[in-house]
Amino acid sequence: MNGDMLLAQVTYWKESDPRDTYIFLAVVGGLIAIAILYSLIKKVLGGESISIARPSQGFSHSAFKRRAYDIGFSEGETDFLEHYARKLGITSPQAIFSSRAGLDSFIKNSFKYIERHADTEESAEQLKGQLFSIREAMQLRFTAGNPIRSSRQLKARTPLSLVSVKEAHYSSILAVNENKALYVEPALDAFGSPIRFPRGAKIKVFFYAGNHVGYTFPSRSKGLVNVDGRQFMALSHSDAIKQLPSRRHERREARLSCRFFLMHVHAARDRGKVVKTVQVEKAAVPGIIIDLSAGGLSMQTMSPAHVGDFVKLAFDVGVGDRAAYASVVRVSRLRSGSAMHLKFVKISRKTVNEILAYVYGYD
């Protein structure tokens, strides 16, 4: 019977007017269109956004490198960042390099990616160390301003350090900067008399611009000259200015509890060799960390150690107790106690990464 019914249906479609089929398909298509339109209206009334899918653009290696180089990243830094841009599915360099906030957000997301996907903890700390090295260098680029390319850009009253070919160091100040020469305060000998460098003598000049960015350039002596009744040493200009490596670290103000233990280093000779032993006192001295960086910290305490002392530090940046060893570089008085400024001398890569995550808000 089923076969007879199927035959009857086939016969019906063959014998019926083709226009009936067109009308049927038109009705079905209209119903589908009405359903889609109803769904769209419902979304609009419900406050939902409607987006039209567009074909995604592929990742442009050349565009990424061009934007990274424009900001000042090196080839190695660019390759490292490009790797994680691909891992995070970013296709447009504009999303990363259009603003400082966008770049920082990308580095933060890269940090999170490394935490989730690194093969081992050791590998994770190494990769995070590379990432933070780029982040710190980026911070310096943003704070350094426009780099100085020529000695003609130097402003009067800029402190200078002059180094002779015999590695003798002299302090000076730029008095007048003219197109034909730099006129600086003359270097003085032990008796306070101006040193007469031979004309053409090679001199290295060092100086610092804003934000503690250091530079150096080669120059030559043009002898002592009188300018408006004052005696200066004339130096030749240079366009071969080089920026000095910076060791500054980004700091973050804090209020973190901390303890330190005084350390005593003893040196003794054993069979012609100097053997050093370190003794750490058991009594802890309390303090409060008031600022922190990857290079050191400042601590408020009622019982500061002396400049040059070594201490063991115990602190927590939100991930548990950590230890580091530091030297005291400066002590300043406060209304309530003292501020002790310390430089790390021994600290693990993992702890440095945890400090940097705290400093940049990646924790």
Report d(CA 124, CA 28) in Å as an integer.
58
C-alpha to C-alpha distance for 310 and 104, rounded to whole angstroms? 35
Give the pLDDT score at 270: 77
Q: pLDDT per residue over 116-142, tens digit each?
A: 999 999 999 999 999 999 898 877 666
Q: Assess whether 91 and 189 both reside in one domain.
A: no
- Alpha-carbon distance of 339 to 298, in angstroms, equals 7
For residue range 264-301, list pLDDT tens digits in order. 888 788 777 878 788 899 999 999 999 999 999 999 99
Which pLDDT tens digit goes with each residue over 73-124?
Answer: 889 999 999 999 999 999 888 889 888 889 999 999 999 999 999 999 999 9
Question: Which of residues 128, 144, 160 is at a domain's end?
Answer: 144
In-domain check, residue 184? yes
Domain range enclosing 230: 151-240
Domain total in the chain: 3
Domain CATH number, residue 323: 2.40.10.220
pLDDT for residue 162: 92
- Please, what is the average pLDDT of the chain? 84
Distance CA 53, CA 59 (A): 18
Q: Kindly state whether residue 31 falls inside one of the protein's structural domains.
A: no
